[in-house]
């Protein structure tokens, strides 16, 4: 396993791969897979068709949970506020925080920020030079090109057949 590269999936790719029964695709490149605390909270806080599968997968693979100040502050705000805090984009912001943490390591660690396609196409995050943004489709195509996956389209098809409303936007555009 290459520990100098860390794959940090956002909620969208985790949900899509869970619908397809293909979460283990994240392990195929041999990079470390780390789950950002806010993202894990987002995908497991409510009972959904994929929440249990994702939580069990993370636990069974003993994946490290990357702690962020953003999630700690979210928990404090949640405990103290009369109404729940706004949750829009918090997972992405927490991943951005983790990527920035990688930049100050010596040597810097490379982080692969895995987004769902519609998110990455619209994302305007400032990330350090050691960060890479990759869409779910592009990641699956990478696995197929390397011979680690028979068909990227089949994973997408399974996710859709199982109920995932998968983004029609593509990044990069075809």
Q: Flag whether pLDDT at 170 surpasses 80.
A: no
Greater pLDDT, 82 or 39: 39
Q: pLDDT band for position 129 (50/70/90)?
A: confident
Q: pLDDT band for position 29 (50/70/90)?
A: very high
DSSP calls for the chain: -EEEEEEEE-HHHHHHHHHTT-GGGGGTT-EEE-EEHHHHHHHHSS--TTHHHHHHHHHHTTPPEEP-HHHHHHHHHHHH-SSPPP-TTHHHHHHHHHHHHHHTSSSPPEEEEEE-HHHHHH------TTEEEEEHHHHHHHHHHTTS-S-HHHHHHHHHHTT-------SS--
Q: Model confidence over 146-168: pLDDT tens digits?
A: 999 999 999 999 999 998 987 66
User: How confident is the model at residue 174, as a pLDDT?
Assistant: 54
Question: Which domains are delineated in the chain?
Answer: 2-161 (3.40.50)
For the entire predicted model, the pTM comes to 0.88
User: How confident is the model at residue 154, as a pLDDT?
Assistant: 96
Greater pLDDT, 131 or 70: 70
Q: Flag whether pLDDT at 122 surpasses 80.
A: no
């Amino acid at each position: 396993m290459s520990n100098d590269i860390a794959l940090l999936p956002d909620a969208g790719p985790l949900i899509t791969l869970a619908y397809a029964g293909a979460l283990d695709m994240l392990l195929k490149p041999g990079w470390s897979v780390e789950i950002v605390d806010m993202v894990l909270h987002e995908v497991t806080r409510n009972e959904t068709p994929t929440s249990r599968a994702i939580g069990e997968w993370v636990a069974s693979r003993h994946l490290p949970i990357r702690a962020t100040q953003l999630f700690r502050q979210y928990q404090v705000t949640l405990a103290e506020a009369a109404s729940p805090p706004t949750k829009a984009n918090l997972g992405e912001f927490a991943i951005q925080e983790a990527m920035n943490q990688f930049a100050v390591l010596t040597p810097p660690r490379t982080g692969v920020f895995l987004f769902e396609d519609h998110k990455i196409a619209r994302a305007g995050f400032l990330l350090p030079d050691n960060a890479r943004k990759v869409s779910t489709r592009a990641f699956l195509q990478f696995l197929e090109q390397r011979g680690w996956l028979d068909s990227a389209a089949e994973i997408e098809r399974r996710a859709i057949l199982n109920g995932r409303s998968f983004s029609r936007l593509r990044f990069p555009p075809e």
